[in-house]
A and B are shown apart, each in its own frame.
Chain A
């Protein structure tokens, strides 16, 4: 009898001790669709796959970091490039998950799609434990993206005007080659030189390949880099026009936008000139 009572007390004590842990665990989760990632489970994965670059404390100073020309992300700072949330806010769990899944084009961060969905969700949960920001702040409200309007020559032309007016060319160059007048001076938050995206190199931009990804890049900005947010400056309906034009700059990718643009005399002339390096396409102001 006495033994049973003792067991009961011990059990109660255990429960009490476990309670704060459970409350803490709530913050250490990541929600990806129906999957819940747990930081504890992600920890082992992190110290197997990630710390070589991102460091034991998550501040981006892993053993390999000095050899990388785009430094690994410092998770302690809590500043992330690819988000669906406004500039200056924390990303959604889904944004971090997408980055782990996709990897970063033009950097040493590979795609981790060899891991299972659960494993990647666990990693996201663990990554969030490095920055104190996750304890005091919530992720930002994702930006509202209206449905993509039908593609027309008019929308591409309007996008081209916006590219000029908003001075995208100052960094990305008139032809989107990433060689604008300010390109050579750009640095990121680590004071490391950083190149603006060269649209002619690939159809994969840093934060994904879809039109929606392109939309998000300039409306949220890539925090920690020179790429600012244009959310206060571009109306959502205009933003899709800019997306349509940006697609035509990716002339190695047979997108519907490029096909339509090539079918016009104006578009064909610009795209053909664009293919020859250092040729002025006449698409705008040249410095």
Chain B
């Protein structure tokens, strides 16, 4: 091997290790999701038809189609990298969707394509889990109390509304993601997408009632870029 080649090989190895080192650090996109205007008033749920659930609440829980927090923040918004990054293989852990007190916990559950989805019934009543996909297979299964969790998978990325026909107020969402770069906003509406290798990305925020919004962002090195989203609230 000539000197020139050795130097080249060394440079390639260095570059490779630099990439390998840089990847876990990577860049970050973080920000906050807010609303402007007046969101619809979330009504209390009448669970009187299901006494075993109604008795679990001192004050009736509210509908969760728009969940707001302090400083006009929006909760339960899925923020994800919709373009600019390759698809990821599914992680080995299962995403868990629990029926408790005749509600879905969490209300919006993000997980990856082909990741195991475990559905648990902790109530003393029968539920039927009826997700309504457009791209994936549609199924509808009964889950009486005390039965083992239902295990399922989805092979296409999609936002899927979920309902229980027995308890019509029960409504939730599955967010089936292509890659592992997603976050769901909590109380303050904040999100953070870390470990992004340098590149140009499309960041999308999805809210079940207000639809989605996208922004372009370019990440270099391990910088943190701020991307905020603001949805126009519909009063009705």
CB of A87 within 8 Å of the partner chain: yes
Residues on B with beta carbons closer than 8 Å to the beta carbon of A86: 139
A165 touches B144 (CB 8 A): yes
Residues on A with beta carbons closer than 8 Å to the beta carbon of B143: 232-233
CB of B126 within 8 Å of the partner chain: yes
In A165-194, which residues have CB < 8 Å from any B CB? Answer: 165-167, 170-171, 181-182, 185-186, 189
B139 touches A233 (CB 8 A): no
Residues on A with beta carbons closer than 8 Å to the beta carbon of B141: 87, 221, 228-229, 231-232
A229 touches B140 (CB 8 A): yes
B138 touches A223 (CB 8 A): yes
Contact with B along A53-97 (1 / 0, CB 8 A): 000000000000000000000000101000000111100000000
Interface footprint category on B: 20 to 34
Residues on B with beta carbons closer than 8 Å to the beta carbon of A171: 165-166
B165 touches A88 (CB 8 A): no
Residue in chain A with minimal CB distance to B132: A189
Q: Evaluate whether A232 and B139 lie within 8 angstroms (CB atoms) in the complex, with A181-B49, A186-B165, A226-B165 already known.
A: no
- Is chain B's binding surface mostly helix, strand, loop or mixed? loop
Q: How near does chain A come to B197, taking the closest CB pair, in angstroms?
A: 32
A235 to B91, CA, bound (A): 33
A171 to B126, CA, bound (A): 12
Q: How near does chain B come to A177, taking the closest CB pair, in angstroms?
A: 17
Q: Evaluate whether A170 and B166 lie within 8 angstroms (CB atoms) in the complex, with A232-B147, A233-B147, A287-B49 already known.
A: yes
CB of B98 within 8 Å of the partner chain: no
Q: How near does chain B come to A87, taking the closest CB pair, in angstroms?
A: 4
In B26-47, which residues have CB < 8 Å from any A CB? Answer: none
CB of B71 within 8 Å of the partner chain: no
CB of A224 within 8 Å of the partner chain: yes
In B147-203, which residues have CB < 8 Å from any A CB? Answer: 147-148, 150, 165-168
Residue in chain B with minimal CB distance to A170: B166
CB of A230 within 8 Å of the partner chain: yes
Q: B139 is contacted by which of A77, A88, A165, A185 (Cβ under 8 Å)?
A: A88
Residue in chain B with minimal CB distance to A90: B137
Contact with A along B129-140 (1 / 0, CB 8 A): 110100001111
A232 to B121, CA, bound (A): 14
CB of B142 within 8 Å of the partner chain: yes
B49 touches A182 (CB 8 A): yes
Q: How near does chain A come to B55, taking the closest CB pair, in angstroms?
A: 15
Residue in chain A with minimal CB distance to B150: A232
Residues on A with beta carbons closer than 8 Å to the beta carbon of B49: 181-182, 287
Q: Evaluate whether A233 and B144 lie within 8 angstroms (CB atoms) in the complex, with A167-B166, A226-B130 already known.
A: yes
A230 touches B168 (CB 8 A): no
A186 to B130, CA, bound (A): 12
A224 touches B138 (CB 8 A): yes
CB of B72 within 8 Å of the partner chain: no
Contact with B along A202-241 (1 / 0, CB 8 A): 0000000000000000000101111111111100000000
Best-surrounded residue of B132, B139, B140 (most CB of chain A within 10 A)? B140
- Is chain A's binding surface mostly helix, strand, loop or mixed? loop
Residues on B with beta carbons closer than 8 Å to the beta carbon of A189: 132, 138
Q: How near does chain B come to A137, taking the closest CB pair, in angstroms?
A: 8
Residues on A with beta carbons closer than 8 Å to the beta carbon of B142: 166, 221, 228-230, 232-233
A185 to B167, CA, bound (A): 9
CB of B99 within 8 Å of the partner chain: no
A189 to B148, CA, bound (A): 27
A87 to B137, CA, bound (A): 9
A79 to B129, CA, bound (A): 16
A167 touches B144 (CB 8 A): yes
CB of B222 within 8 Å of the partner chain: no
Residues on A with beta carbons closer than 8 Å to the beta carbon of B140: 87, 221, 223, 225-229
Residue in chain A with minimal CB distance to B151: A232
Q: How near does chain A come to B65, taking the closest CB pair, in angstroms?
A: 16
CB of B114 within 8 Å of the partner chain: no
Known A87-B139, A166-B126; further 16 A-B contacts with Cβ < 8 A: A86-B139, A87-B140, A88-B137, A167-B166, A171-B165, A181-B49, A182-B167, A189-B132, A221-B141, A226-B130, A226-B165, A227-B140, A232-B148, A232-B150, A233-B142, A233-B144
Can you list 23 pairs linking A and B with CB atoms under 8 Å apart?
A87-B141, A88-B137, A88-B138, A166-B144, A170-B166, A182-B166, A182-B167, A182-B168, A185-B165, A189-B132, A221-B141, A225-B140, A226-B140, A227-B140, A228-B129, A228-B140, A228-B142, A229-B139, A229-B141, A231-B141, A232-B141, A233-B142, A287-B49
